[in-house]
Structure 1
């Protein structure tokens, strides 16, 4: 009997400790239909992604049309795949509930009527052009679409279909409603560019846009929870109650027609956030899906275990490297915790880390991936789009801050391992480094991505070439990507991007309200007034706002909204745009590990079976550098590679030592255990090194030297006291 080549390779390389890391993970409310229906949905998902890659790389479409297909198609697929119900192990009842079918019928009929009307628009039947009456198509299209959508959304809340193996008929018609909205706005785009948000807008425009807003918020609730929905809902209410609000919140108010038609344009939902999700985000999610389908992600994790798994606290150090790398690519903190944490967290617990510490380390590492260049979870591209600063400049500026953050997490991991006398995993249980090192060509897709970007190629071309590289590289492994595997990668990309599409569209609602009401400008003015002439006070307020916005909200949406509200005020105060946006982005990312709402830490706690709040506090401590580094950047812009190389080296070394001292204070361990007084002393020394000046560096180094001498018993406390006299 011939040996299986895959098994033979695994035996040669040692234990495949990362097996399953690249397996698809299913959300608790995600449907898993049977073979035929499942294959049909897979083809729809693959086609959706292929459409995007084709438009981006081969044949561009008009931006409004492309973004409407992006949002409408994403919503339709989302409603087909994700339910309002949370499924258990039981697939649910197989029979159809007749009462529920009867209740679905009115909403389904209304949406079907609106859909047929929208199809008629494509043939010139009943077009709501400039000459049409203001209330044209309201009874035959507007009310049926909106009321049918409201009816079926409400039915899903109160009477969900609990079967995981079939499609919910109510959600099928909600998918039809999403397509209907897209069809209406696509066909009427030439008119809407002139009349949206003005007194010329037609009521049918308003009904289509209002239904679209409802469907976006419902899909965001299903995929990202209530936090962003509540925030977006409050902004929508704010657009109508402005005349009755005090102070800077007051505005004249807007009619429903003006508001909804304005918010569903390129000033809102179809604006910067959707521009980003329909280009950079879906492109790099697709790249991540290709790496996942080709099993390269497993190689990354196995490589990290082979290199560092045997070291003191090895699994935790592997989590820092592996999760950081994977988080950089996939762009979702909590999702990355689920993907890699199922492997790293149990191994961390095995070598001695407590459950809450294991979950916290994974959360801190996964969140840090989004500040790790060159991809930064698509953050570099988003920042470039918003600020106009070249991508390469942003990536270069991000290198030192990201290294400082991961150094902090590693210092904490190592000091905790020292403190509790932990060891690594036995070498015989780890993959062989020499074998995996011979497969270093699997890093080629990322190397090609970086090289093409820095060679001046467009982001889109670089991303497509990186996908092609991932496919070709897979041919040198037992997991060769053929046509079926490539389609599988495109299918995975669609599923992985749905949450980001929904939250970017929901964030677009907020951005639209900010632009319509002018609250962003007034808030920036308030920020300036509260801070006076102090930039540091303004940055402190910016930190608080960015963290609050990011609680429960994915990084992309949190950064986009915070940048709209806060960044103009910071720039107006004289802070460089790059520094202002880096500052906001860092805190938007770190909101994922900031109590009381820390989604990444909660995901880690679920896997580690620890207390979520205690885990989030622990994750906050491990990632504490991310809350200090932005202020270091403000004090020393050389950390963003700005200035002479000698200055860059000086402030980097100073900041790195400061981060080490900060980690020592957090863990209560330097060259030995630190009592409470010495912990405070070391923490103060770390903070002294934020400034990056020679005087403060001397204070920090001097304080560290004193603690070292005390712990080495070279001096006694009384000697220091006598010297002070």
Structure 2
């Protein structure tokens, strides 16, 4: 048997065992540490099975032997844990001895996790985790406030790989109880025709609008974000269709790639999936997942509204980006609309109060069955085989980084590093909330460079959220604030992963694309400040309070977009731009219905009247400038 065939057999076997076991977890749950150990090391084995390293002809046998050994050792550790867990559950933490088998499983397990992370998401997260592990051993060498006595190898083994913390903690729990079911739904829904339907709906809805080519990208990515937990997957799935269309409509390659990058980035904030981080947030905060999804709805819609305004203003100013429905050759949509029953049922089930896994499983079953309601949407049953493989592969690439972040979490908390950092941030920011928020933004963006969003969010929630809540920020608002800026790091140079993916599809200059994507993202930087100041935007309070707060946010983002674009029916001068900036900020920083907020509403009305009715119209030559 050749190596490629052997690895294919391993991929298939591991995928079906993994997916089958996690599905049975819904009906017959295993004890937490048992399923966590299975989840982590099976996921690691899947990464090795699916990731082929570049092979030098002289050393190909070494590379293949290492890959196969990593798969087998990962599986061996997963099996060993099932035998050792009864003892681990009985032992007294930090009192009973740590045996050599525990040290072996710890050292080998951590090395395998780090290598799986390197193969799945690159070196950035490996370096971060490596620094924390070294800090755990040599904390006594750290300068100043970071110094602490350090942990022994046995202590680190107990914290990281022998308890329901570390790699078996909240990240493994979220992967088993939430992430898996939504990844499964996304894989099945996309494979049975739902993904293409979302893109075609976006094309049909926006093709005749000003800047329709770019708006198609925004709407398509928002819809795809409903079922996708990855900004990169969103970019590659929708971008292959939308980027060429935007380029044909007059956008440069850089503009098309930047638009798709920021549109796909927002998909990580779109309920109900919200880029996997929402599931971890629900576990961390101990609140129902529906509460997280509801809280994310208005900010996510404001995110896309802000982008649509920017695109619209730019299109009306330049005349670029228009495209007709006839030029797109969109397949008939009506015969496929029944495919939407699956996501609609999933969302409805969530709203009715059922658990997130039940809702995702309901959507998955309907995604498998509904296409057979019409012959035109039938799919061959062999596609189920590929759905299982795709689900297992995605979960491997998600779960390995999550396990690595579990190491960071336990070292940061047990060494008191997180608490010390909170104290330092409080000292620097003093009692100035906005200065502290700006410091948190820089921290989130720096951490998000090269890290998966969920990893950056978890680390950010450890070190930043306690400081914000200590200043009176609502706990949920503080977590979403951190999440927003970790997400925006995907399009913030110098390391902007979504931008790299979009630039690769467009064949554009990466640096120019990154700068443009960051400029587009500036219109969204306002949104998190709004819900920090007014938790009504997170679906908290009476309906009329939520509605009024939402109106204020819509006006604030519109004014902010006009300020950035310097155009509203006509080009704006510096005084007009500053006026739009002032009214926008007044609607964000002031409490809803306060005198300053009301002044912002009135100021918006005055500025709109000026631009649309009172301002002298420029000559045709100047208007086209």
TM score, norm. by length of structure 2: 0.91
Unaligned stretches of 5+ in structure 1? 1-31, 105-159, 161-167, 718-725
From 339, 349, 360, the counterpart of 2:237: 339
Q: Quote the Cα distance in structure 1 between the aligned partners of 2:412 and 2:340.
A: 42
Query: When you count helix as a share of all residues, which structure comes out higher?
Result: 2
Q: Quote the Cα distance in structure 1 between the aligned partners of 2:96 and 2:572.
A: 69
Q: Quote the Cα distance in structure 1 between the aligned partners of 2:414 and 2:104.
A: 19
Counterpart of 1:439? 336
Give the conservation status (yes or no) of the 8 Å contact 1:592–1:599: yes
Distance 1:665 1:51, change over 3 A: same
Q: Quote the Cα distance in structure 2 between the aligned partners of 1:484 and 1:407.
A: 40
1:646 is the counterpart of 2:544: yes
Counterpart of 1:456? 353
Counterpart of 2:622? none
Give the conservation status (yes or no) of the 8 Å contact 1:442–1:473: yes
Q: Quote the Cα distance in structure 2 between the aligned partners of 1:499 and 1:70.
A: 12
Q: 1:629: how far off?
A: 1.0
Q: 1:37: how far off?
A: 5.6
From 18, 37, 41, the counterpart of 1:68: 37
Q: 1:219: how far off?
A: 1.0
Which runs of structure 2 are paired with 1:571-582 in the superposition (5 Å)? Answer: 571-582=469-480
Q: 1:668: how far off?
A: 2.6
Partner SS state of residue 200, structure 1: coil
Counterpart of 1:6? none
1:59 is the counterpart of 2:28: yes
Give the conservation status (yes or no) of the 8 Å contact 1:662–1:683: yes
Q: How big is each residue's C-alpha offset from its partner over 1:573-607, in whole Å with a ceiling of 9 and x where there is no partner?
A: 33221111111111121111122221111211222
Q: Quote the Cα distance in structure 2 between the aligned partners of 1:713 and 1:49.
A: 64
Give the conservation status (yes or no) of the 8 Å contact 2:290–2:356: no
Q: 1:695: how far off?
A: 2.6
Cα RMSD after superposing both structures: 2.5
Counterpart of 2:621? none
Q: 1:230: how far off?
A: 0.9
Counterpart of 1:188? 84
Distance 1:381 1:388, change over 3 A: same
Counterpart of 1:271? 169
Give the conservation status (yes or no) of the 8 Å contact 1:206–1:257: yes
Counterpart of 1:327? 225
Counterpart of 1:364? 262
TM score, norm. by length of structure 1: 0.79
1:702 is the counterpart of 2:599: no
Q: 1:47: how far off?
A: 3.1
From 20, 43, 49, the counterpart of 1:50: 20
Partner SS state of residue 354, structure 2: coil
Q: Quote the Cα distance in structure 2 between the aligned partners of 1:325 and 1:245.
A: 47
Q: Quote the Cα distance in structure 2 between the aligned partners of 1:482 and 1:710.
A: 57
Q: Quote the Cα distance in structure 2 between the aligned partners of 1:198 and 1:332.
A: 42
Which runs of structure 2 are paired with 1:358-507 in the superposition (5 Å)? Answer: 358-430=256-328, 435-477=332-374, 478-481=376-379, 483-507=381-405
Counterpart of 1:220? 117
From 608, 621, 627, the counterpart of 2:525: 627
Q: Quote the Cα distance in structure 1 between the aligned partners of 2:611 and 2:160.
A: 63
Q: 1:713: how far off?
A: 6.1
* 406-415 vs 598-607, greater mean Cα deviation: 598-607
Q: Quote the Cα distance in structure 2 between the aligned partners of 1:586 and 1:340.
A: 22
Q: 1:697: how far off?
A: 4.4
Give the conservation status (yes or no) of the 8 Å contact 1:311–1:423: no
Counterpart of 1:254? 151
Give the conservation status (yes or no) of the 8 Å contact 1:592–1:601: yes
Q: Quote the Cα distance in structure 1 between the aligned partners of 2:316 and 2:366.
A: 41
Q: How big is each residue's C-alpha offset from its partner over 1:252-274, in whole Å with a ceiling of 9 and x where there is no partner?
A: 11112221332113221110111
From 123, 130, 145, the counterpart of 1:233: 130
Q: 1:233: how far off?
A: 0.8
Q: 1:79: how far off?
A: 0.9
Return the index of the structure with the highest Cα Rg. 1
Q: 1:482: how far off?
A: 5.3
Give the conservation status (yes or no) of the 8 Å contact 1:444–1:473: yes
Q: Quote the Cα distance in structure 1 between the aligned partners of 2:602 and 2:389.
A: 54
Give the conservation status (yes or no) of the 8 Å contact 1:524–1:568: yes
